[in-house]
Structure 1
Amino acid sequence: MVEILVISIGALLLWSASRRVFGRTSRWRSRTRYAHNRRPARNDTRKKANPASPRRSVTPTDAAALLSKATIRTTPIMTPAEYGLFRQVKHWAQAQTERLHVFPQVAIAELLKCPQTEDQEAFWSFGCKRTDLVVTDQSGHAVIAVEYQGRQHFAGNATERDQIKRLAFERAGVQWLQVFSDDTVEDRAKKLDAAWAAYAVLAAAPAAANTVEIITLDRTSA
């Protein structure tokens, strides 16, 4: 009898203790759930990244403040290989009887124009590009455009860009030639001589510039 009484009292105490523990847990869960329901959604409180917006115009004052803190360094206008080609083309130009000039990294928009309003779309197809070297006559008009084809030149869409350049220059009666990294000095001189001779033919008959096949030299004809 005593044993039964002891077991009963122990069970009662255990039941009472479990109620207190689970009651606290239940109340804690209720408070937590209530607080969670009242809390704004996490996505609403998190700072969202602003979508890409147009770059604002910078006033001279803003520019002065930015430039005063910026690190700015010079960079070579040409690679060593392009500079070597520039020197060769310049030496070739100085040997010609007519006064010619050579300029590096020129925007094609500074060399070719489309005076007709309806041709502006054609202009923008090439106007944002540049040529590695350009040979001009003494009045500053382009006569030969030189594109240096280095080892990495054909990466990406370089071939398509060169096709657009070639079409634009040839349409304007300007000779366009490619110089490859493995061309010899003699190869390059021959290409320049041939391009200059072809330009002279077109200059003598400018009306034929759009009908006569322009002589251009590539690797197979070097």
Structure 2
Amino acid sequence: MALVAVANVKGGQGKSTWSAILKSHLNGSGRLLDLDPQQGDAHTWAEAARVDSKLIWPETLFEDLEAAANDNLWWHVADCPPNEGEATRAALALAAIVFVPLIPGGAQDAQAWGRMSDLLDEAWKVNPDMEAVVLLNSVRPTALSRDFQDLLQSWHSPEDGRNFIGSVPMHVAIAETIAKGKAPTDPAVRKALKGFDKVVKIASSVTLAKTFISNRVQAKAGAANE
């Protein structure tokens, strides 16, 4: 149906892991786009899992993202690099959904969320229908984790496209499953995906409405030129 961008400005937050999870969950013929070709973690997983994927280089960045964003049949997943550069900004500008995995590990993670939140606000100016989804990833039972939980609960506002879908505890088995080219079946992951599915339904409705309107406009323009 469109593009899901998995993004965080800080590395080590689980972007590639969740790109793999989301691609497996959404299924279909959509492609996994690895926007960090020099690292290539998502692409490596896709090859092991025999999933259609592509390393996206700067020369074809906008062409590939626009093709995915304008696909009316399948969801495509883009694993963004861990920075605020051109690839991340382009993906956010075109994505129907931006999925942000966030590990509540320390002050640097809090700072990264502040930068990521600002980046989402910038993206909404050019992409107002974008839905943002945030997940606390690899959570430990600490006071800091609870502070992050409270912070994201206050940020959560579905009517404004801000969706906090909960947390997934730190489980080594999740990473091990991904390393084998498979998708994890952990109960906490399944619960998070249910929250994600609610956002997918909203984004799908918006995408279909845009397609319908665009087709009507094109049809009227064609009739006027006959």
Using the size of structure 1 for normalisation, the TM-score is 0.33
Using the size of structure 2 for normalisation, the TM-score is 0.32
Instruction: Point out the structure with max Rg over C-alpha.
Output: 1
Higher relative contact order, chain-length normalized (CA < 8 Å, sep 6+) = 2
